Amino acid sequence: MTDQASDKRVLLIVGGGVAAYKALELVRLLRKAGVGVRPILTKAGAEFVTALSLSALSEDKVYGDLFSLTDEAEMGHIQLSRSADLVVVAPATADLIAKAAHGLAGDLASTTLLATDKPVLMAPAMNVRMWLHPATQRNLETLKADGVSFVGPDDGAMACGEFGPGRLAEPPVIFEAIMEALAGPAAQSSKRGPLLGKHALVTAGPTFEPIDPVRGITNRSSGRQGYAIAGALAKLGARVTLVSGPVALPTPFGVDRVDVETARDMLAASQAALPADVGVFVAAVADWRIDEVFGTKLKKDKGGPPALTFVENPDILATLSASGPRRPKLVIGFAAETNDVEAHARAKLARKGCDWIIANDVTEPGVMGGDENAVLLISKDKTERWDRAAKDAVAHDLAQRIAESLS
Ligand code: C5P
């Protein structure tokens, strides 16, 4: 894909927002892959990044003014709007999205979006309330109906101090979406990969079990391994549903993410995602939840610490592993162990009724919450020891093995 993309050009509109600095990293990634980038910097965008940085990284002229005689003499705005294979808007602000949805053309960026005959990809970024506002949601629907594609936004903490959807997708994710779009509709509809036509269900991250309206029980799972697996399966052509507990990670490109908090919600969302060809249960699910969640915030002054009673949570892996018409063909569980890794994991394989267990020793430095993993793949009749590797590499190898097993 990169080879084909190396003679392609992107017209990159950089809107005004704190996330505009990420556009610089995006330009770097595109140039590294050999993709030409011609930037348009809006007036608001120029408050956040400089034309000089964009020009240096893109090795091209930066356009900004609709009424610049010099620019118009060199390349008219209509020509500019068609000078690339793809128009990318990153960050796409609420204002740019609204202008594009309504066909306004008061500045170079919006004029370009109205005049272009090329596909458009937008990476939105804005405050959560602005994103959720019915006006923005309406504008998105309009643009989607017009054929505009979107990547992101992500959930997470925002520069304005709020939390929720509205963060610009990370540059590597936008980059992948661009490469996919540059590969063209034919390549997309005949999306390559050995898992084409397969549906994968992946659970990831921790769960959050409430105690009262403001407190809860959770764990330190980062979700990284599960997210990497979801992304790797999507890259091999699978349709992927990622049922995720609360994590601060971007959704991998091409993955459908369903956000949940509790184990019971995670089970319900996983069951709703069936049928699936493969289920990969990576989430660190809380074993217990509070019997009865307090309806109001527990107070310190009410006669000492409260007595909390726990009840067991459903085992999602065991439930979906149980034989039946909706059982995925291949069910994979994870086991984080601190001793006798193989023996414990093998016992878990039998207890949960799954086909494979991916086991790791979490006492190894840098595994829990880190970027690397050293795993054993345990099936009914054999044990494989994989070398310590980056979680992305483990995910890639596992996705390959899943593809071989399902073929
Ligand atoms: O029993 P244990 O928590 O060690 O098992 C780990 C495996 O079981 C992981 O694959 C995890 O995602 C899954 N699991 C689950 N639901 C639970 C507990 C664990 O899906 N309630």
pLDDT digits (tens, 9 = 90+) for 323-362: 889 999 999 999 988 899 999 999 999 999 999 999 988 8
**C-alpha span between 44 and 17 (Å, rounded):** 8
Nearest atom in ligand 1 to the alpha carbon of residue 282 is 12
pLDDT for residue 2: 40
**Comparing C-alpha atoms, which of 371, 363, 377 is closest to residue 391?**
371
The percent of residues above 70 in pLDDT, for the chain, comes to 95
335 close to ligand 1 (CB < 6 Angstrom) = yes
Q: How confident is the model at residue 7 (pLDDT cuts 50, 70, 90)?
A: confident
The helix (run of H) or strand (run of E) holding residue 115 is helix 108-115
Topology match between the domains 2-189 and 199-406: yes
Q: Which residue has the higher pLDDT, 177 or 363?
A: 177
Task: Convert the pLDDT of each residue in 132-163 to its tens digit.
Answer: 999 999 999 999 988 899 998 987 777 777 77
CATH class of 199-406: alpha beta
Average pLDDT, integer, range 68-72: 73
Specify the higher pLDDT residue, 386 or 186: 386
- Determine whether the shortest distance from the Cβ of 35 to ligand 1 is under 6 A: no
Mean pLDDT over residues 122-139, rounded? Answer: 95
The verdict on the CB of residue 150 being under 6 Å from ligand 1 is no
Measured between alpha carbons, how far is 116 from 319 in angstroms, rounded to an integer?
Answer: 51
Q: Does domain 2-189 have CATH number 3.40.50.1950?
A: yes
Residue with tokens 């992946």: 202
Candidates 225, 285, 362: which one to mutate for ligand 1, based on the most atoms within 8 Å of Cβ? 285
Q: Is the pLDDT of residue 116 over 60?
A: yes
332: phi then psi, degrees, rounded to nearest 5: -120, 125
Mean local confidence (pLDDT), 218-239: 93
Active-site residue numbers? 160
- Domain locations along the chain: 2-189, 199-406
Among 164-168, 191-195, 307-311, which range has the highest average pLDDT?
307-311
Residue of 120, 135, 127 lying closest to 86 (CA atoms): 120
Q: Judge whether residue 1 has pLDDT over 50.
A: no
314 CA distance to ligand 1 centroid (A)? 9
**What pLDDT is stored for residue 255 in this prediction?**
87
Find out whether the beta carbon of 201 lies less than 6 Å from any atom of ligand 1: no
Q: Identify the band that residue 6 occupies on the pLDDT scale cut at 50, 70 and 90.
A: low
Q: How many Cα atoms occupy the beta-carbon half-sphere of 283 within 13 Å?
A: 32
Helices 94-102, 134-145: axis angle to 10 degrees equals 50
